[in-house]
Chains A and B, each alone.
Chain A
Amino acid sequence: MVKRIKLPLTDEAITGLKAGDKALLTGVIYVARDAAHKRMLEALESGQPLPFDVRGQVIYYMGPTPARSGQAAGAAGPTTSGRMDVYTPRLLDEGLKGMIGKGMRSPTVKDAMMKRRAVYFAAIGGAGALISKTIKRSEMVAYEELGAEAIRKLEVADFPVTVANDIYGGDLYQEGRARYRMEGK
Chain B
Amino acid sequence: MRDIDCKKITETISSLFQEACLRLPEDVLEAITQARDKEESPAARDALDKILENSEIASSEMIPLCQDTGIAVVMLELGQEVHITGGDLYRAINEGVSRGYSDGYLRKSMVNQPFSARVNTGDNTPAVIHTEIVSGDKLKITVMPKGAGSENMTRLGMLSPAQGRQGVIDFVVKAVDEAGSNPCPPVIIGIGIGGTSEKALLLAKKALLRKVGQPSPDKESSELEQEILKRVNNLGIGPVGYGGRTTALAAHIETFPAHIAGLPVAVNLQCHSARHKEAVL
Contact = CB atoms under 8 A, between A and B. Distances in A.
Query: A and B, one complex?
Result: yes
B107 interface: yes
B234 interface: yes
Please tell me the size bucket of the interface on B: 35 or more
B120 interface: yes
A128 B51 CA distance: 9
A102 B183 CA distance: 10
Contact of A80 (B53, B107, B108, B149): B149
B61 interface: yes
B236 A177 contact: yes
A64 B107 contact: yes
A59 B118 CA distance: 22
Contacts of A172: 242
A169 interface: no
Interface string B52-76: 0111011001111111110000000
A19 to B, nearest CB: 10
Interface of chain B, main secondary structure: loop
B54 A65 contact: no
Contacts, number: 176
B98 interface: no
Contact of A75 (B64, B182, B240, B241): B64
B108 A181 contact: no
Interface string B114-128: 000010101000000
Given A148-B108, A180-B41, A126 B182 contact: no
Interface string A38-80: 0000000000000000000000001111111001001111011
B243 A65 contact: no
Contacts of A183: 173, 177, 231, 234-236
A175 to B, nearest CB: 7
A68 B105 contact: yes
A182 interface: yes
A64 B271 contact: no
B20 interface: no
Contacts of B63: 65, 68, 71, 74-75, 128-129, 132-133
A33 to B, nearest CB: 10
Interface in B136-176: 148-149, 152, 173
A1 interface: no
A63 B67 CA distance: 7
Given A68-B105, A146-B120, A128 B241 contact: no
Contact of B107 (A65, A68, A102, A181): A65
Contacts of B64: 65, 74-75, 128-129
Given A35-B118, A64-B107, A130-B54, A179 B66 contact: no
Interface of B: 40-41, 43, 46-47, 50-51, 53-55, 57-58, 61-69, 105-109, 118, 120, 122, 148-149, 152, 173, 177, 180-182, 184, 231, 234-238, 240-245, 271-273
7 contacts: A62-B67, A66-B105, A102-B184, A125-B181, A126-B184, A176-B41, A182-B236
Given A62-B67, A82-B182, 20 more contacts: A63-B67, A63-B68, A64-B107, A80-B148, A102-B184, A103-B180, A104-B182, A125-B149, A125-B184, A127-B66, A128-B64, A129-B54, A130-B53, A148-B108, A173-B181, A176-B241, A177-B236, A180-B41, A183-B234, A183-B236
